[in-house]
Structure 1
Amino acid sequence: MISLPSWGVVAATALSVAALVSPVSASDEPYEARGTATLNRVQVISLTSTGTGTTMVDNGTPGPGLGDQIIITAKLFRNGRSYGTEAAVCTRVAPATTHCTGTFSLPLGQVTWQHLKSTPVGTPPSDFDVAVTGGTGAYRTARGHAHIGRIAEEGGSFTLYLVR
């Protein structure tokens, strides 16, 4: 293992997607899926997180490079109260690009996500979306996205937009 560069700490904390206090809401806004007459619901969940662990794994050639990974864990909060955990793994797939996959473990099930993000090396990503790829329990039919708002070393805010 090598020491984690500052962009890694910031990106990892944000992805542990995140320490602004943000209200949580569940929206009953109907959302009509394209090409179907079925009415779906969009559930909006705003969360914050506090990182519980970040590790950088130096794979391949010593020093920053392709294949290096950041492993992230965090506690999730809703209105300042504990609301679950998150874990993610980000792998450098190009000099300035990472591919990340993660899971939010929430009280009613899990929500999985992924993204491919290019940012200049040493610059943390900010204000971006990740794709919701599935889930379990109450979220077993979930799709949608999560918006990562603010990033800071101590965390940042994010909002899940789940179509169920």
Structure 2
Amino acid sequence: MMQHSKVVGLGAATALAAILTCAPVAAALAGDGGHGGERAFELVERNIQETFVDVDNNGVPSPGDTQVFTNDLFRDGKKVGTGGGVCTILSTSDGGEAQCNVTLALKEGQITSQGLLYDVLTAAPSDFDAAITGGTGAFSKARGEIHGSFVSPTEVRLEVHLSH
């Protein structure tokens, strides 16, 4: 059986996928008048619910199996949003690989991300990088990337690099 928390990391999309203090993020995005630049934020996410869908019912991870998850998003110990996503196993060789799509829902809007995670079937999943593919509200022009590191099987530290 797959160690379910290994595929959750992008939630980590992850992603995408994040914990920001919403008002400073919106202010930072608006602060340069929308003329380029990058803002970096350190984030933490904690898994609250997940489901593993074994598409071929064989009891072992295989391509096409899916992990569906939701996360609470925190900054400085305070909950600032929620996130959720889907990771689909692409390969079970060399530790496993999964494609993840994650949405982070914050007060000022949403941030979407996607990326590949490696070593998803091992005891020590690799750090990962995911592309920020867009957003809504204050994040409607969001681009950039998210770098994630597993702190524990249910917690991921994220570095969000938002450009516009």
Which TM-score band (shorter chain)? 0.7 to 0.9
Partner residue, 1:112: 112
51 and 69 in structure 1: CA distance in 2 versus 1, 3 angstrom threshold: same
Residue aligned with 1:11, SS: helix
| Residue identity in the other structure for 1:59 | V
Q: Give 1:34's aligned residue.
A: none
Report the residue type matching 1:87 in the other structure. Answer: G
Residue 11 of structure 1: which of 2, 7, 10 is its match? 7
Tell me what 1:35 maps to: none
1:28-57 CA distances to partner (integer Å, 9 max, x unpaired)? 7xxxxxxxxx94121222221221101100
1:154 aligns with 2:151: no
Matches of 1:143 and 1:113, distance apart in 2: 9
For 1:152 and 1:15, the matched residues in 2 are separated by 13
1:79 lines up with 2:76 in the alignment:
yes
Letter in 2 for 1:17: A
1:131 counterpart letter in structure 2? A
CA change 1:16–1:23 in 2 (3 A) is: closer
Higher helix share: 2
The answer on whether the counterparts of 1:23 and 1:79 sit within 8 Å (CA) in structure 2 is no
Cα distance change on mapping 1:85 and 1:148 into 2, 3 Å: same
Answer whether contact 2:104 2:110 (CA < 8 A) is retained.
yes
Distance in 1 (CA, whole Å) between partners of 2:115 and 2:147 is: 11
**Alignment RMSD, CA only?**
2.6
Specify the structure having the higher radius of gyration (Cα).
1
**What do the CA deviations read for 1:46-70 (whole angstroms, capped 9, x no partner)?**
2212211011001025222111000
Query: Secondary structure of the equivalent of 1:150?
Result: strand
The match for 2:91 is 94
Q: 1:134 to 1:120 in 2, by over 3 A?
A: closer
Shift of 1:93: 1.5
Give the whole-Å Cα distance in 1 for the aligned partners of 2:147 and 2:67.
20
Shift of 1:106: 1.2
3-state SS, counterpart of residue 138 of structure 2:
helix
- Equivalent residue number for residue 62 of structure 1: 58
Equivalent pairs counted in the alignment come to: 147
Write the distance in 2 (CA, Å) between the matches of 1:103 and 1:124: 24
- Contact 2:55–2:64 (CA under 8 A) maintained in structure 1: yes
